[in-house]
Amino acid sequence: METSAVHHGSMFDTNELVLNMGPQHPSTHGVLRVVLRLDGEKVVDCDVVIGYLHRGIEKLSENRNWTQIVLLTDRMDYVAAATSNVGYCETVEKLMQLEVPRRARYIRTILMELQRIASHCLWVGTHAMDIGAMTVFLYAFRERELILDLFEEFCGARLTYNSMRIGGLPQDIPPGWAKKVLEFCDIMSHKIDEYEELLTHNRIWLERTKGIGVISGADAIGLGLCGPALRGSGVARDVRKDEPYAAYDEMEFDVPVGTAGDTYDRYLVRMEEFRQSLRIIRQATEGIPEGPIVGKVPRLIKPAAGETYHPIESPKGELGYFIVSDGKSTNPYRFRVRPPSFCNLQGLRRLVKGHLVADVVALIGSIDIVLGEVDR
Amino acid sequence: MAQAIAFYVIAACILGFGVLVISTKDTVHSVLFLVLDFLFVAALYVLLGAQFLAAIQVLVYAGGIVVLYLFVVMLVNLKRPPEAHSDPHRRTKLGFGLAAAVLVELGAIAAYGYARPATAFAMPAAAAMPVSGNTEQVGWLLYTSYLIPFEIASMLLLVAMIGAIVLAKREL
Amino acid sequence: MIDELLIPLLKIVIVLNATLVAVTYMVLLERKVIAWAQSRLGPMRVGPYGVLQPIADAIKLMIKEDITPVRADRWVFTAAPIISMVPALIVYAVIPFGPTIHLFGRSVSLYITDINVGLLYIVSVASVGVYGIILAGYASNSKYPLLASLRASAQLISYEVAVTLTLVSVILMAGSLSMVEIVNAQYNQHVWFVFAQPMAFVIVLIGGLAETNRAPFDLPEAEQELTGGFHTEYSGMRFALFFLAEYANMIVVSSVVVTLFFAGWLPPFPNTPALHVLYYVPSWAWFLIKSFVFLYLFIWIRATLPRYRYDQLMNIGWKVLIPLAIVNLVITGIVKVALI
Amino acid sequence: MLLSASLFIIGVIGVMVRRNIIIIFMSIELILNAVNINLVAFSAQLGNQIGQVFAVFVIAVAAAEAAVGLGIILAFYRNKETINIDEMNLMRS
C-alpha cells in the first residue's frame, strides 16, 4: 500500500519532524493513521491515512440478499449499529415504497435516540480522555452500559444488534421495556449534568477546547462536514428536521447549534443533543401507538428496478445509503454508503493545521469518527 | 587519613572523567561524562568545606548549564561524527605542545615551591576552617564587600539572557 | 563507633526500604483512590482487597523481558532509568521525619543527616533528576520519547525556577536552609508557614505537581498524545525504575511541602498548652499523616482534571508562577526588614 | 593544585584538539571548573570565604557564557548545518 503521502523535501528540512501517529496509537480511536509534519510541536501539515479496517462491506452487500445486508450494516458504525440498521431498512423501504406501521416507526425512533445517547456517551468519554480527564470516560461508560442492557433486553445483542427488518421490526418490545426506558431517561438527565459539571466550566477544559480547530459555517459546508461538526459552526442542518424519517415528524425537539465553530462549541452541541434525545425518547415512549410492527412485506424482497438515496441523521452526522436495484436479482446491483465519519474526517487536515500535537488528539475526538464506518 | 583517601579518589575521578569528556566520540556521552565530572567537583567542594558552593555547583552546572548543552546536542542531533573530515592533526600538535608547555611551567613552579618551602604562605590557620554557617558567610561577603561585582555579574547574566534569546529566536 | 557508623547506616537502610515499600503501595493507593473516584473497585484479586497487588506487580515487572531497541544507544538507554531513580532516593537523606528522640538509651535523630544547605541540596539533587528523562528520550532513538523528553525537560527547568524562587521566601522566613531548622522556626514563630506564606504554598504545590509530571501537568507521559512519553520504549525493570522514581518524587514533594509549610513532625498547634495531648502521637506519625494528605490530594487532582497543553503549561510557569514568586519574595523581604 | 592544573590541561587539550564546537565549549567549562577548584582550595587553606565568592562569580560567568555560546551555535547550525569549527570562517571569506 502506498502510504508515503508525506510531501517531499521534508527529509532535508531539519526544522521539521515527521511524526507518524497511529495506526496503533491510544487516541486515534481505532486504526486511523495520521502523518504529522511538525515544526517543534506545531503541526505544519498532516495526512490522514485510512483503510486499515476496510472489509469491503459495499461490495460484499452486492452479493448478499436484501435481508442479509442488515447484518453487514451493523459492522459499519459499530457504536451506533441500530442507526445504521434503520438507515438501510428505510432506504430499501423507500425503494420498494413500503408502508411501515406507526408503532414500528416509533420504536425505531426510540432505539435510534438511545443509540445516539450511547454513541455520544462513548464520544464524551473518549474525547475527555484524550484531553486527560479520565474520570468522565468511566462515568460515561457506566451510563452506556444501561443503554446496552436495554438493547440486550430488546434484541439479545449488546453491540451489533441486527435489530431491524425491512418493513418493520423483528420482534415487538418486551413487556415493561418502555417503563425501563423512561426510568433510564430520569437517570441519564442527572448524569449529563454530572459530565457537564466536570467539564463545561472547567478552566483547563475551556483552555484546551476554546478556539481550537475553528471552522466557519461556509467552510464546514464546503468540506462536506455533517452532524454535530457542522452544527457546531452554526449551520442548523439536521436530517431529522429537514427531511424527517421514522417518527421524527411527530416529535418536538430543537436542533442545537454553536456559534464559534471550535472544539468547545462542538462539545456543547453534543451535550445539548443528549438532552434533546432524552426529550424525544420520552415523547416517543409515552406515545407508542398500538398496532402491528411489520408492514406488508412480500415473501421475496425484490425491489423493482430503480435507484434511491436516503439520508438519516446518525449520531455522527448524515448517514446516507445509495442503492441501485436491477429488479432481476435478489441482491442490490449497487450499494453505496455515505458515511458521516468519512466526510468529517476529511475536515481534519484543515482543522489541525497550525495547532499543536496535543490539539490533534482533541480534534480527532471532536469530530467523533468511527473507523468501521470510515473504511467500511 | 580518610580525608586524604577521599580526596585522591575524587581527584582521580575528576581527571578520569575529564579525559573521557574530551576523548569520547559520541557527543551525548561526552556531555554525560561532563555531568559526572561536575558532580565529583561538587563532592570535592564538600570535602573542602564549601557546601554552599557544592550545592550551587550541582544546581547551576549539572542542573542548568549541562542540560542546556544536552538540549543543543539533541537539537543539532547528528549521527554523523563532525570530525570525520579535514585533517585532524593540524592543531593537535599545537594543542599537545601548549599543554606540554603548561605542564613544564607547572613543574617548575612545583619544584620552586618545594625548594623554598612555605615562607610566603604561612598557611595561617587550618583551624579557622568554617564548619557551619558556610552559606551565611558567603552570603555576607557577597552582599557587603563584593556587592558591586555581584551586581555586575547579575547584569552580565541579564545581558547574556537577552543575547541568548535574540540569537536563538528564529525571526525577530 | 556505633553512633558514628552503625546508626546512620541503619537509618539509611530503613529509609531506603521504607521508601521503596511506600512507593509500591503508593501505586496501589493511586489505583484504588482513582477507582473509587470513578465508581470502580480497583485491584481486588491479589490478597484481600488487592493489598498484595504491589508485590505481584513487582514480580511481574522483574520477570518481564527487558527489551533494548536495536538502534538505541545501549549504554545511555540503561543508564537513564538509574539516573532518574538515584536522585529521587538520595533526596530522602535530608528529609526530617521527626526530631531527635531517645531510643534504647540513645538519642537518635529521625533524619539521616541535617546539613546546613538542606533545602538547596534537595533542589539541586532534584535538578539532576531531569537527566534521566532527557537521556531516556534521546537514547530510545524514537520520535515520541524525544518529543516527550524535550517537553519534560523544558517543563522541569521552568518550574524549577518558580519553585526555587518561592523557596527563597520560605528561607527568608525561617532564616535557615536546614530542613530541621525550618521546622524549628515554625515552632518558635508560633505559626505554620502555610498561613504566613499562603502564596508560596500554592506556588510550590503547583510547581511540585509540574515537577513530578503529575496531572494536570503530566504532558511528558501524556498517553493520549505521545503514547507512553519518554518511557515508550522501556519495558520490564527499567520501566519500573522510571515508574518508581515518579512516585518517589511525589513523596518527596509532599514531604517537602509538609516540612516547609506544615511544620513537619510537629502536631497541630504545637504551642498551645491545652492541646499538648497531641504530643502523645509520635512525631513521625504526624509527619506521615500530613504527607499522606498531600499524596491523596495529588491523586484526587489526577482523577478530576483534564490535562494542560504544552504552551499553556509554559505560560502558567513563566507568565504566572514566576512573577508571583518574585512578587512574593519581594513582599516577604520588605515585611521581614520592616519587622526588624 | 596539581589536580586543578591537570584538569586545566585536559580542558586546553580539548579546546585545541576537538573539531566539535560543543565539545570545545565543554572543555572551556572544564577549564573554568579547574579555576574554581583552585579558588575553593585556597579559600579552604586560607580559612576565608573570598575564594568561594569568586567561585560563585565564575559560575555566573560560565552560565552566561554557556547561554550565549550555545545560542550562537544554534543560530549558526540553523544557517550552516555544521558544528565543525573549521568550517566556521564567516569573517574570513
pLDDT in tens, C27-64: 888 888 888 888 788 787 877 887 888 888 888 888 88
End-to-end CA distance of chain D: 43
C274 confidence band (pLDDT: 50, 70, 90): low
Domains of chain A from N-terminus onward: 10-49 (no CATH), 57-375 (1.10.645.10)
What's the CA gap between C279 and C286, in Å, rounded? 9
D83 confidence band (pLDDT: 50, 70, 90): low
Contacts of C37 in chain A (CB under 8 A): 135
Q: How many Cα atoms sit within 13 Å of A318 on the Cβ side?
A: 21
Contacting C residues, span 218-257, partner chain A, CB-CB under 8 Å: 218-219, 222-227
**Where do we find the cell 575528576?**
B14
Cross-chain Cβ contact C127/B58 below 8 Å:
yes
Cross-chain Cβ contact D44/B76 below 8 Å:
no
Cis bond before residue A23 (omega within 30° of 0):
yes
Contacts of B85 in chain D (CB under 8 A): 84
Counting CB pairs under 8 A, whether chains C and D reach 3 or more, is no
Instruction: Please say whether the beta carbons of A320 and A311 come within 8 A.
Output: yes
Instruction: Please say whether the beta carbons of A372 and A51 come within 8 A.
Output: no
Nearest-5° angle of CA A298, CA A300, CA A302? 95
Cross-chain Cβ contact A25/C227 below 8 Å:
yes
For the D2-87 domain, the top CATH level (class) is mainly alpha
- Comparing CA positions, the residue from A45, A122, A37, D58 lying closest to residue B156 is D58
Whether C143 has its CB under 8 Å from any CB of chain A: the answer is yes
Among candidates C218, C223, C305 on the partner chain, residue whose Cβ is nearest the Cβ of A26:
C223
B70-102: pLDDT as tens digits = 777 776 665 444 444 444 455 556 656 666 666
Question: How many Cβ contacts (< 8 angstroms) between chains A and C?
Answer: 85
What's the CA gap between A63 and A65, in Å, rounded? 7
Contacts of A132 in chain C (CB under 8 A): 215-216, 218, 222, 224, 305-307
Minimal-distance CA residue of chain C relative to B51: C117
Instruction: Please say whether the beta carbons of A330 and A38 come within 8 A.
Output: no
Cell of C18: 521504607
Among candidates A25, A138, A359 on the partner chain, residue whose Cβ is nearest the Cβ of C40:
A138
Q: How many Cα atoms sit within 13 Å of A233 on the Cβ side?
A: 24
Burial class from Cβ neighbours inside 10 Å (0-12, 13-18, 19+) for residue A351 reads buried
A193 confidence band (pLDDT: 50, 70, 90): confident
pLDDT of the residue at C206 = 84
- Residues near B66 by beta carbon (within 8 Å), at least 6 away in sequence: B31, B34, B35, B38
- Comparing CA positions, the residue from C240, C310, C248 lying closest to residue C63 is C240
End-to-end CA distance of chain A: 17
Contacting D residues, span 21-40, partner chain B, CB-CB under 8 Å: 22-23, 25-27, 29-30, 33, 36-37, 40
Whether C82 has its CB under 8 Å from any CB of chain B: the answer is no
Cell of A317: 452526522
Contacts of C141 in chain A (CB under 8 A): none
Cross-chain Cβ contact C124/B55 below 8 Å:
yes
Contacts of C116 in chain B (CB under 8 A): 51, 132-135
Cross-chain Cβ contact B153/D61 below 8 Å:
yes
**Between B21 and C102, the higher pLDDT residue:** B21
The strand pairing partners of C109, in sequence order, are C100
**Between B130 and A142, the higher pLDDT residue:** A142
**Between B135 and C170, the higher pLDDT residue:** C170
Whether A242 has its CB under 8 Å from any CB of chain C: the answer is no
End-to-end CA distance of chain B: 59
Residue B17 C-alpha from the chain's centroid: 12
Q: Give the orientation angle of helix C143-174 with respect to helix C322-339, to 10 degrees.
A: 10
Whether C320 has its CB under 8 Å from any CB of chain A: the answer is no
Cell of C171: 528561607
pLDDT of the residue at A142 = 85
D1 confidence band (pLDDT: 50, 70, 90): low
Contacting C residues, span 124-183, partner chain B, CB-CB under 8 Å: 124-125, 127-128, 130-131, 134-135, 138, 146, 150, 153, 157, 160, 177
Cross-chain Cβ contact D84/B83 below 8 Å:
yes
Contacts of C310 in chain A (CB under 8 A): 41, 356-358
Rg over alpha carbons for chain A, rounded to the nearest Å, is 21
CB atoms within 10 A of CB B108: 10
Beta strands in A134-235 (DSSP E): none
What's the count of helices (H) and strands (E) in chain B, helices before strands?
A: 7, 0
C160 confidence band (pLDDT: 50, 70, 90): confident
Across the range A236-243, mean pLDDT stands at: 82
Rg over alpha carbons for chain C, rounded to the nearest Å, is 21
- Comparing CA positions, the residue from A363, A123, A80, A120 lying closest to residue A225 is A363
Return the partners of chain C (3 or more C-beta pairs < 8 Å): A, B
Q: Give all strands of the β-sheet with A42-49 in edge-to-edge order.
A: A16-21, A33-39, A42-49
**Where do we find the cell 490535562?**
C307
Nearest-5° angle of CA C212, CA C216, CA C222? 80
CA distance B116 to chain C (A): 39
Report which residue type is found at A236.
Answer: A
Contacts of B28 in chain C (CB under 8 A): 73, 76, 135, 138
pLDDT of the residue at C30 = 84
Helix (H) or strand (E) holding A35: strand A33-39
The strand pairing partners of A62, in sequence order, are none
Burial class from Cβ neighbours inside 10 Å (0-12, 13-18, 19+) for residue C339 reads exposed
Cross-chain Cβ contact A26/C40 below 8 Å:
no
- Comparing CA positions, the residue from C13, C6, C332 lying closest to residue C175 is C332
A31-45: pLDDT as tens digits = 778 888 777 677 878
What's the CA gap between B81 and C172, in Å, rounded? 49
Q: For residue C29, what are the CA distances in angstroms to A172, B29, C194, C217, C238? A: 48, 38, 26, 20, 22
Across the range A90-114, mean pLDDT stands at: 85
- Comparing CA positions, the residue from C132, C118, C45 lying closest to residue C84 is C132
A261-277: pLDDT as tens digits = 888 888 888 888 888 88
A305-335: pLDDT as tens digits = 888 888 888 888 888 888 888 877 788 888 8
C303-328: pLDDT as tens digits = 887 777 777 778 887 888 888 888 88
Quote the longest CA-to-CA distance of chain B. 61
> A86-90 — which CB contacts under 8 Å span 24+ positions?
A86/A111, A86/A112, A86/A164, A86/A246, A86/A312, A87/A310, A87/A311, A87/A312, A87/A314, A87/A319, A87/A320, A87/A321, A88/A164, A88/A321, A89/A164, A89/A165, A89/A166, A89/A167, A90/A245, A90/A246, A90/A310, A90/A312
Helix (H) or strand (E) holding C127: helix C118-128
Cross-chain Cβ contact C131/B70 below 8 Å:
yes
Cross-chain Cβ contact B32/C76 below 8 Å:
yes
Domain boundaries, chain D: 2-87
pLDDT at C197 over 80: no
Contacts of C312 in chain A (CB under 8 A): 207-208
pLDDT of the residue at B120 = 42
Q: Answer yes or no: is the ipTM higher than 0.85.
A: no
Cross-chain Cβ contact A138/C222 below 8 Å:
no
Across the range D58-67, mean pLDDT stands at: 80
Whether B108 has its CB under 8 Å from any CB of chain D: the answer is no
pLDDT of the residue at C3 = 65
The strand pairing partners of C320, in sequence order, are none
Q: How many Cα atoms sit within 13 Å of B66 on the Cβ side?
A: 32
Contacts of C219 in chain A (CB under 8 A): 358
Beta strands A317-325 and A334-338 are antiparallel
Q: Where are the alpha helices (DSSP H) in D1-93?
A: 2-17, 21-46, 50-80
Whether B74 has its CB under 8 Å from any CB of chain D: the answer is no
Across the range A353-360, mean pLDDT stands at: 79
Cross-chain Cβ contact D70/B69 below 8 Å:
yes
Whether C78 has its CB under 8 Å from any CB of chain B: the answer is no
Question: How many Cβ contacts (< 8 angstroms) between chains B and D?
Answer: 213
- Comparing CA positions, the residue from A99, A195, A110 lying closest to residue A154 is A110
Residues C183, C189, C193, C199, CA torsion sign: negative
Cross-chain Cβ contact B67/C130 below 8 Å:
yes
Contacting B residues, span 112-131, partner chain D, CB-CB under 8 Å: 121, 123-130
Burial class from Cβ neighbours inside 10 Å (0-12, 13-18, 19+) for residue A174 reads exposed
CA distance B58 to chain C (A): 6
A144 confidence band (pLDDT: 50, 70, 90): confident
Contacting A residues, span 164-193, partner chain C, CB-CB under 8 Å: none
Helix (H) or strand (E) holding A148: helix A134-155
pLDDT of the residue at B166 = 76
Whether C309 has its CB under 8 Å from any CB of chain A: the answer is yes
Among candidates C75, C128, C138 on the partner chain, residue whose Cβ is nearest the Cβ of B58:
C128
Cross-chain Cβ contact C131/B133 below 8 Å:
no
Whether B56 has its CB under 8 Å from any CB of chain C: the answer is yes
Cross-chain Cβ contact A208/C226 below 8 Å:
no
pLDDT of the residue at A290 = 83
Contacts of C30 in chain A (CB under 8 A): none
C234-269: pLDDT as tens digits = 777 888 888 888 888 888 888 888 888 877 777 776
Cell of C98: 521527626
Whether B135 has its CB under 8 Å from any CB of chain C: the answer is yes
